[in-house]
Chain A
Amino acid sequence: MPKQREIDYKIVFCVGSLIIVGLGMIYSSSGTVAGYRYDDPAHFLKRQSIWAIIGSIGMIAAMKFDYRRLQPLAPWLYITSIILLLAVLIPEFSKEVGGARRWLVVGSFTFQPSELAKLAMIIFFSAFLVKKEKSGRLKDFFTGYLPSILALGACFVLILKQPDLGTSLIIAAVVFSLFFISGMRPSFMLGTFLLLLPFLYVAILNVEYRRKRIMAFLDPWSDPFDSGFQIIQSYIALGNGHFFGLGLGEGRQKNFYLPDAHTDFIFSIIGEELGFVGCVVIVFLFTWLIYLGLKVSFRAPDSFGMYLAAGITLSIGIQAAINIGVATGLLPTKGLPLPFISLGGSALVMWMISIGILLNVSEHTT
């Protein structure tokens, strides 16, 4: 019988630190932009703080909610996500920003269904894999793998349609990781990947901006004022930081040099203002959080809890890795926010609810 344990304060500490650093960096990096657009340098800080409070409530609620009761809800969560992802494609219900339809609009409130889908998919596939495992059909292609990949595919395509390649890739990566962990045959997954490769190639190289991003990734200096601009500005931000940074608020790259300084490229501003030391601290906090999350997963009393904890932890880890990888030029430019730190209300709330679930799993460890 699993015994009740105290909540894991180390996880709370990691997440809390990341959110506080995030708020500070959002204020610092969005002040100029917010002052210019809204005549209020603290505009984004205020909004994100409100979201952090809502997120905390969500986190506590999730923490109090026995994760095992999520198992029967899993199919409903899946269906709800798919409906919302469909709804976001209908112009009447959604808002278009920068050529992408990612936000549902309900009154003055906007919400990003793909953020919900991320968590919903983790819960759904955790339950799904447990079910397949129990019925012994996990390793079967037609009854095990095919339904799984189709369920994932529907979600993937809908998010890709927005378009939001980043989030769909994150979801695919996390779900594939769960497949891999569960013991599905790697050959199926490899096969699927190889099958999709030509489509992926076309999807990337046929879309002008994605192709440019790939070229800019390979050699940003070949086009420093257009496709290479953002990554070079990111390097400049990081390079200016040196060991200890210019000091909070002292960075200059946010003054319209580095686009998306308060969202996708906030890590570069951390590097500029808090230096190499600050960056290492952030990377360390993420690594520690992943380590703690995986420990929760290892100690989970059942497979559902284990998948859930692993999925949540990996989604945080993979997204943080991609974001940091992009900022440092290890990966091609792909707009993905840094978990807990970048500006974005839906994402923060969903991340905090995920942490709540993770904490609940940790309370039930053996």
Chain B
Amino acid sequence: MKEQTEKHKKLRLTTIAFFLFGFFLAAIGRLYFLQVVEHERYTDYSKKQYYQKVQIGQTRGKILDRNKMPMAITVPVKSVFAHPYKVENLLETAAIIASELKLGRKAVLNKISGDKNFVWLKRKITDEEYVSLKAKRLEGIFFLSEDKRFYPHETLASRAIGFTGIDNQGLAGLEYRYDKLLLGEKATYIAKKDALGRIYGYTDGQGPNNSFEMITTIDSRIQYAVEKALRASFEKYQAKSAVVIVMDTKTGEILALAEEPEFNPNKFSDYGVERYKAISVTESFEPGSTFKVFLAAAALDSGAASPDEIFNCENGKLSMGEYSIREADNNSYGELTFKEIISKSSNIGSIKIGWKIGEERFYDYITRFGFGSKTGVDLPGEAPGLFQSVKNWSETSLPSMSFGQEVMVTPIQLVTALSVIGNSGMSVHPHFMKEITQNGKTIRKYKAPPSRRIISEKAARQTVEMMRLSVTDGTSRRAFTPGYDLAGKTGTAQKYDVEAKQYSKDKHLASFIALFPASDPKISILVMMDEPTGKGWGGHVAAPIGKEVAISTARTLGMPSSNDTRYVVDWNELERKYLEKRKLKVQKRAGLLEDIENFIASKATAYEGD
């Protein structure tokens, strides 16, 4: 009986066990179905929820000078953000962050107590801020690495280089103009994401690095020297603004572009918008007497006048109906040759030359020199300059334009037109972009549009000669440097006072343009100072800067002055002297060895003898 019940119990237990085992068997069947039979279906489904295409920008490419010195680089910096729901002690956290990052405590508190999932507290903080805030170990406060644009030379060439905004987007200068190239293509990654949509990895590691580097035409050595010279004068004359452009006469490559007041792109937000733009391309001025160079070129090319032709300069006063024209600085000239008119910068003489050229022809020439239209330089916001078309000219238009009034030009136009004269009359295209490289390989080089003839080689040559005369024996004398063969032309434009509707007596635009060496110009220089205090003559203010710029450029580029002593090294002689010296030494040493040997030998014999 007892055994019978035991047996029944075991039977019932076995029954339950069989149900259990049966269920496990069913589970295995079900697993086979889900894992093996329907495998494809679920992998397809999972791909949809795991992966996401994301586009990630490259690290912004560097901007280098022509010698590959970095002008704009990208460095990683930290940004601070908060997950407000993770912040534990709101008041304390806000107080610490406000003091560490120099932010308003209330603003921080508002940010971290909101119901957002993510808030930026401060982007791109300094290393010091990062280290000290990180040490505080605040709950809910996190750091993220971001790229920050950095300009290691601060103000150097800053108006040309420009700057980028908080998201590394180009906002001004070359940074803006070549924004797309410097950004590179966005790489497409397949990101792995979790169910909360957060990316935690990428399927194929790093994408191709295809950001571009830009090599510019700027020579930072020249740029530095230019800025130094310009800044000193700018401060001395308390001017409104000042510009120097140094250009390779033959190629149009801009070697230096300096502007005052200075601008540090690392702190662009400290300045007003007015400081961002490059005056050289965005602002137009009445050039004044420097424009006479183009009058001369037009007269020579058209054959309207020859260099030694004599003009009557009316002893300092030319009356034209109700107007009368006087020479600058109360000068008065009688009879002057054409080249003297240019070198001494006679206004009356220039008007007479202008008349000889004629309205239509002069208009045609200045248009051909590129005035009134954009040069196409690769900086944003270029102004075309301005002058009336010939049918709207009044009786005084041609006379005024002959000495650089009634015409608005940009500094870049002026230096470009100057280079045409220096380049034997062939057109020149100003530019900053020299090469685009990617991973060290050149992928694009600047390609100039085909060069056109603007004026004859002879006319260009004769114009340069007149400018040379201006330096050696004219208004540009202050630029004269023994040994440096400079050709130049000064300009002192009275500024038109819009309110008074007449030319101002005390506001000037002092300028100086130069080519050198005059015998075969390689460098074009423009110096312009707007509203210098004091007398403000181009010859006084601008020419000395031009001289300094010319000397430092020449030295940097290894163009010695004819005054410098040249050392010719006779390598053979040098080698002979060196070898002789060496031989002597060797002989000496050999002698010493002999002495030592003798000494040892004597000792040895001494020992032997013992």
Contacts and interface: CB of A to CB of B under 8 A. Distances in A.
Interface in A229-284: 235-236, 238-243, 252-253, 255-257, 271, 275-276, 279-280, 283
Contacts of A255: 194-195, 200
Contact of A330 (B30, B36, B39): B30
A7 to B, nearest CB: 22
Given A180-B16, A252-B46, A255-B195, A280 B200 contact: no
A275 B192 contact: no
Given A256-B195, A290-B20, A321-B20, A298 B34 contact: no
Interface stretch (A14-22, A57-65, A153-161, A310-318): A310-318
A279 B200 contact: no
Interface in B1-33: 5, 8-10, 12-14, 16-17, 20-21, 23-24, 26-28, 30-32
The dominant DSSP class at the A interface is helix
Nearest to A314: B16
Contacts of A298: 10, 13
B45 interface: yes
Which of A306, A310, A328 gathers the greatest number of chain B CB atoms within 10 Å?
Answer: A328
Contacts of A183: 5, 8-9, 12
A325 B27 contact: yes
Q: How large is the interface on A (under 10, 10 to 19, 20 to 34, 35 or more residues)?
A: 35 or more
Contact of A283 (B12, B24, B42, B50): B24
Given A183-B5, A310-B13, A328-B30, A256 B42 contact: no
Contacts of B396: none
Contacts of A306: 9
Contacts of A181: 9, 12-13, 16
B595 interface: no
Nearest to B196: A256
A85 interface: no
Nearest to A242: B39
A351 interface: no
Nearest to A306: B9
A182 interface: yes
A56 interface: no
B27 A328 contact: yes
B38 interface: yes
Contact of B34 (A32, A235, A253, A297): A235
Given A181-B9, A239-B43, A297-B13, A329 B49 contact: no
B23 A32 contact: no
A183 B4 CA distance: 12
B194 A32 contact: yes
A58 B263 CA distance: 76
A358 interface: no
Contacts of B34: 235, 238-239, 271, 328-329
A286 B24 contact: yes
A253 B46 CA distance: 9
Contacts of B39: 239-240, 242
B556 interface: no
B99 interface: no
Contacts of A283: 24, 27-28, 31
A255 B192 CA distance: 10
Given A181-B13, A290-B20, A239 B27 contact: no
B50 A276 contact: no
A138 to B, nearest CB: 10
B35 interface: yes
Contact of B192 (A252, A253, A271, A314): A252
A71 interface: no
A294 B195 CA distance: 43
B35 A243 contact: yes
B566 interface: no
Contact of B13 (A236, A253, A294): A294
Interface string A299-322: 000010010001000100110010
Contacts of B31: 238, 271, 276, 279-280, 283, 328
B41 interface: yes
A330 B32 CA distance: 13
B195 A287 contact: no
A275 B36 CA distance: 9
A143 to B, nearest CB: 19
Given A183-B9, A280-B28, A239 B194 contact: no
Contacts of B49: 236, 257
Contacts of A180: 12, 16
17 contacts: A180-B12, A183-B8, A240-B42, A240-B46, A243-B35, A252-B192, A257-B49, A257-B195, A276-B31, A276-B35, A279-B35, A290-B21, A306-B9, A318-B20, A325-B27, A328-B34, A330-B30
Given A276-B35, A280-B31, A330-B30, 13 more contacts: A177-B16, A235-B34, A239-B38, A239-B43, A255-B194, A256-B194, A271-B35, A290-B20, A306-B9, A321-B20, A324-B24, A329-B30, A330-B26
Q: Which 7 A-B pairs have the closest CB atoms?
A: A239-B42, A255-B194, A256-B195, A257-B195, A276-B35, A328-B30, A256-B194
